[in-house]
Structure 1
């Protein structure tokens, strides 16, 4: 347990470095899927590793200590008590961060439901009369399909081809359920701060995935690049509180450059390799769990 329990934590740090490189080598649809699964597994296993570290404090429980003293048996500490306490503190901080992410997503969901209720429509498009240029995909729920929300200002600032690209881009977000990908990345980053850069990488890949889907739908890569640039320029001119995250905060220039270059390869073997890396922290956590159970069993059988 002294080594295996740290494997998920070490691999989370390595993933933080390797994740952006994967986004530059692999087609966005494959890269996004591989990274989301990997960060989800890494977040879960690193949390479990922290629980195991914190659980070693059970050896210091008064009944166990008293029994050991009575039998004159020395119980070795699997890890220093300081590390166990820090692990429990990290779990508490992670739980607090996860609660914040859940509250944020619930608040966003309530706002989107009110928007949906205020613009009842049978079509996929909801046009909001607003001077703020915005466009986003409204994820579907169990009782309602997804919708594309676009303001009148955004539509007025684009020509016919650019509007088709914009709608195709947002339609791709709905078709491939990108909102779920982002929720997983957000929760993983909340659980393990080492995965925060991967949250941003996933968000970027989802936008690139939608760009490629829009280009493949018939607009072409050059037209899609122009539409992305134009929509980003319009969104950037909006007042700061209203700027769309995916149109202003992410690397727009990188998205445009990617559309102007040849498509990245699917490289399925690379995607499989990324997914296989998620097995390593799982194996480490499983081995550490076995050691922990044996250690706990010895302590309880004094």
Structure 2
């Protein structure tokens, strides 16, 4: 069974990060974000499931548990006697992952709850009197856009239209769901942390591209992002929302892509690598569950 642990918990998560690094800028941002988020979730779930299998094996090794359910704890333990520490390490890692996932899920739910406000006449735009330069989309049913007066004063009408188009693109594509999936995957396995950051960058790029189409000017979108980034520099982000100015030093990359767009390959074949790795991890996890059942059956007296 140890090979299942090695493949799904140790090997695949960093391997899929490497594959995504190679492919991220070669695919259209919207498609790349979807592929990355769902592949990362599949890998994260497979990792946690393998940890669960080994945690159950650790429990099954306890003599009292074996006597209760009618199997030999010694036979169960002997299956991985050469790495006897793995089942118990898996139990500890599983506990840490569960705490991380629950905490992240609650943070997302609380963030969405805090962002909900009632707007008059079904409007999606809320202008807040605040000298701080902020602009972000708050997802919901319906979602809405928040812009401070400080941000509005900095932008020309055309730049403001570009900013609104960017935020509307977030709401229309429900980008918050992809971000949530990627962050939950990162909570499941720390190696997937980079994927969450990359998905955040890609949804911003996707919104940039959609905004450029709507306003008919890539330069206006790039200028709006640049002005907003300079104005918001050094200021803390709000705890919720999808920002036109994302953190992590990616604004220059976004502006460069708008002003000098790089060619992307609209081919599903490029998505095969991360998807295949994720699928292989899921299948291998199914094998781990089957092997545990077989082991417990073989550990019963008379087998």
**TM-score, scaled relative to structure 1:** 0.89
Measured in 2, the distance between the counterparts of 1:68 and 1:254 equals 59
Change (3 A) 1:73 1:103: closer
Asked if 1:111 is matched to 2:114, the reply is yes
Q: Which residue of 1 aligns with 2:254?
A: 255
Other structure's SS at 2:122 match: coil
For structure 1, which runs of at least 5 residues remain unmatched after alignment?
none
Measured in 2, the distance between the counterparts of 1:82 and 1:254 equals 45
Measured in 1, the distance between the counterparts of 2:177 and 2:24 equals 19
How far has the Cα of 1:260 moved from its partner? 1.7
Change (3 A) 1:286 1:183: same
Measured in 2, the distance between the counterparts of 1:11 and 1:188 equals 13
Measured in 1, the distance between the counterparts of 2:40 and 2:52 equals 18
How far has the Cα of 1:290 moved from its partner? 1.4
How far has the Cα of 1:47 moved from its partner? 0.3
Q: Which residue of 2 aligns with 1:159?
A: 156
Measured in 2, the distance between the counterparts of 1:33 and 1:60 equals 41
Measured in 2, the distance between the counterparts of 1:301 and 1:62 equals 14
Other structure's SS at 2:127 match: strand
How far has the Cα of 1:276 moved from its partner? 2.5
Which of 138, 148, 153 is matched with 2:145 structurally? 148
Measured in 2, the distance between the counterparts of 1:242 and 1:2 equals 44
How far has the Cα of 1:55 moved from its partner? 2.0
For structure 2, which runs of at least 5 residues remain unmatched after alignment?
none
Which of 223, 229, 234 is matched with 1:232 structurally? 229
Measured in 2, the distance between the counterparts of 1:137 and 1:291 equals 47
Other structure's SS at 1:300 match: coil
Asked if 1:97 is matched to 2:100, the reply is yes
Other structure's SS at 1:153 match: helix
Q: Which residue of 1 aligns with 2:130?
A: 130
Asked if 1:187 is matched to 2:184, the reply is yes
How far has the Cα of 1:241 moved from its partner? 5.7
Other structure's SS at 1:278 match: helix
Which of 72, 83, 87 is matched with 1:84 structurally? 87
Other structure's SS at 2:266 match: coil
Measured in 2, the distance between the counterparts of 1:75 and 1:146 equals 53
How far has the Cα of 1:242 moved from its partner? 5.7
Q: Which residue of 2 aligns with 1:273?
A: 273
Q: Does structure 1 conserve the Cα–Cα contact (< 8 Å) formed by 2:71 and 2:300?
A: no
Other structure's SS at 2:133 match: coil
Worse overlay, 152-161 or 273-282: 273-282
**TM-score, scaled relative to structure 2:** 0.88
Other structure's SS at 2:132 match: coil
Change (3 A) 1:245 1:150: closer
Measured in 1, the distance between the counterparts of 2:103 and 2:7 equals 27
Measured in 2, the distance between the counterparts of 1:165 and 1:301 equals 72
Measured in 2, the distance between the counterparts of 1:281 and 1:291 equals 15
